């Protein structure tokens, strides 16, 4: 089945370049282009594309407003092309809040120094979004009923926040909105530290942490090497690097390091989960949210072996049911929650 793409950018050069990249794939066809957000809204309605690529800064109507209008009337997977600047990061987060599903740097060399590889990655991102297009309607329906697997605790006992010494949350595609949803429900009195792993480039995680800190009742910031875990505070793994937990007697600190050979996700949930399993066995709650791929599965296996509790987001509320699916299929999920239900559970712990 051919993936039908609508390309939106005010630069004629960019429109032609993206059209060439997508049309070079036998499974894709650019069915139209738009030079501003208003034209994008009209063409999204008339052409009914499978995926839309969207610039942010455009005349007549900007990309964020266009995303909001398209998602209101005709929900479609939208991939944002983002400038790798502080302003670009903020605009990208605004676009994700408006309903865009994913983003890539506008300069392809920031995806990969190998131009051919960058083009393949870009086409794969579009292909992945197209595969999950049908989920958009379901994500925007009222919350589904929670589906729970048996949890290893005494019958009738309710998990309390004090049952955990750490909460660690991992996500990829769709994750910024999902993490924001669950984190804003945690009260300021929560006496447990939190680690966050979101697949995101390095020049975006600082802005993401700042946004979460403004919206949440707990403190949130981008992790720095040597930061100590503190109750009621969340540390976000810096993009492009790895975040590990380290133990120094009673003190628990984080190590921020460069990625090693074979560590394809940067940051990686497997790396963070694995370090938590080694240094804080037992009373840990690991949460795996929406995202492509299976990052987090191996780390969750290590956590479960040390007595941790694992929650997974359910298929109906995921933008992309990849990472949580890997957890569920491997039998690692103690509970499977709709995103709204999960947020409520965290609020009531």
Q: What is the pLDDT of residues 226-237, one digit of tens each?
A: 999 999 999 999
Alpha carbon separation from 301 to 6, 9, 160, 297, 327 (Å, rounded): 41, 44, 23, 6, 9
Residues 184 and 273 in one domain: yes
Are both 115 and 232 inside the same structural domain? no
Q: Which of 295, 317, 334, 338 is catalytic?
A: 295
Q: Which of 133, 155, 182 is the last residue of a domain?
A: 133
Look up 172 and say whether it is catalytic. Answer: yes
85 and 226 fall within a common domain? no
Q: Which of 199, 268, 317, 338 is catalytic?
A: 199
The enclosing domain of 75 has a CATH number of 3.40.50.2300
Say whether both 154 and 287 belong to one domain.
yes
pLDDT, the chain, mean: 90
156 shares a domain with 79:
no
Q: Is pLDDT at 22 greater than 60 in this prediction?
A: yes
- Upstream peptide bond of 267 is cis (omega within 30 degrees of 0): yes
Specify if 140 maps to a domain: no
Residue 347 clears pLDDT 90, i.e. is over it: no
Same domain? 125 vs 151: no
- Indicate if 291 and 212 belong to the same structural domain: yes
Number of domains making up the chain: 2
User: Catalytic one among 9, 50, 102, 172?
Assistant: 172
**What is the average per-residue pLDDT within 287-297?**
96
Decide if 199 is catalytic: yes
- Structural domain harbouring 40: 3-133
Same domain assignment for residues 152 and 226: yes
Any idea what DSSP says for residue 240?
T
Nearest of 114, 118, 64, 60 to residue 88 by alpha carbon: 64
Same domain, 121 and 202: no
Least confident of 19-28, 77-86, 93-102, 292-301: 77-86
Q: Is residue 290 part of a domain?
A: yes
Tell me if 161 is assigned to some domain: yes
Answer yes or no: do 109 and 239 share one domain: no
The percentage of the chain sitting over the pLDDT mark of 90, rounded to a whole number, equals 74
Q: Determine, yes or no, domain membership for 138.
A: no
**Residue 4 contacts residue 29 (beta carbons within 8 Å):** yes
The CA-based angle 28-15-78, given to 5 degrees, is 60
Q: pLDDT band at 87, cuts 50/70/90?
A: confident
Cα gap 199→157, rounded to integer Å? 35
Find the CATH number of the domain harbouring 216. Answer: 3.40.50.180
CB of 40 closer than 8 Å to CB of 65: no
194, 126: one domain = no
Percent over 70 (pLDDT), the chain: 91
pLDDT (mean) for 158-177? 85
**Cα–Cα distances in Å, from 283 out to 165, 166, 279, 286?**
6, 7, 11, 10
Same domain for 177 and 80? no
Q: End of a domain among 133, 161, 185?
A: 133
SS3 state of residue 57: coil
pLDDT over 80 (residue 148): no
Is residue 208 scored above 80 in pLDDT? yes
Catalytic-residue membership of 11: no
Q: Is residue 244 one of the residues assigned to a domain?
A: yes
- Give strand pairing partners of 246: 253
């Amino acid at each position: 089945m051919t993936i039908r793409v609508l390309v939106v950018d005010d630069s004629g050069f960019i429109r032609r370049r993206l059209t060439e990249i997508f049309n070079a794939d036998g499974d894709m066809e650019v069915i139209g282009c738009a030079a501003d957000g208003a034209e994008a809204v009209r063409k999204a309605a008339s052409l009914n594309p499978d995926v839309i690529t969207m610039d942010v800064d455009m005349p007549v109507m900007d990309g964020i407003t266009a995303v909001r209008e398209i998602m209101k009337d005709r929900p479609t997977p939208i991939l944002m092309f983002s400038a790798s600047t502080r302003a670009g990061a903020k605009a990208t987060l605004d676009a994700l809040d408006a309903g865009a599903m994913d983003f890539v740097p506008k300069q392809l060399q920031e995806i990969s120094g190998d131009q051919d590889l960058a083009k393949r990655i870009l086409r794969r991102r579009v292909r992945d979004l197209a595969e999950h297009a049908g989920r958009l309607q379901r994500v925007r329906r009222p919350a589904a009923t929670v589906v729970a697997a048996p949890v290893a605790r005494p019958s009738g006992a309710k998990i309390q926040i004090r049952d955990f010494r750490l909460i660690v949350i991992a996500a990829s595609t769709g994750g910024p909105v999902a993490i924001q949803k669950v984190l804003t429900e945690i009260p300021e009195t929560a006496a447990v530290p939190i680690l966050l792993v979101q697949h995101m480039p390095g020049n975006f995680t600082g802005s993401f942490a700042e946004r979460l800190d403004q919206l949440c009742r707990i403190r949130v910031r981008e992790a720095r090497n040597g930061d100590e875990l503190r109750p009621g505070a969340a540390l976000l793994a810096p993009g492009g690097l790895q975040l590990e937990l380290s133990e120094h007697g009673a003190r628990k600190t984080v190590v921020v390091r460069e990625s090693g050979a074979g560590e394809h996700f940067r940051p990686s949930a497997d790396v963070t989960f694995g370090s938590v399993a080694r240094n804080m066995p037992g009373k840990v709650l690991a949460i795996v949210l929406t995202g492509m791929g299976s990052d987090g599965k191996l780390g969750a296996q290590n956590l479960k072996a040390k007595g941790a509790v694992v929650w997974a987001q359910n298929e109906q509320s995921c933008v992309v049911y990849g990472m949580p699916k890997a957890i569920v299929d491997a039998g690692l999920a103690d509970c499977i929650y709709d995103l709204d239900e999960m947020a409520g559970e965290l609020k009531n712990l």
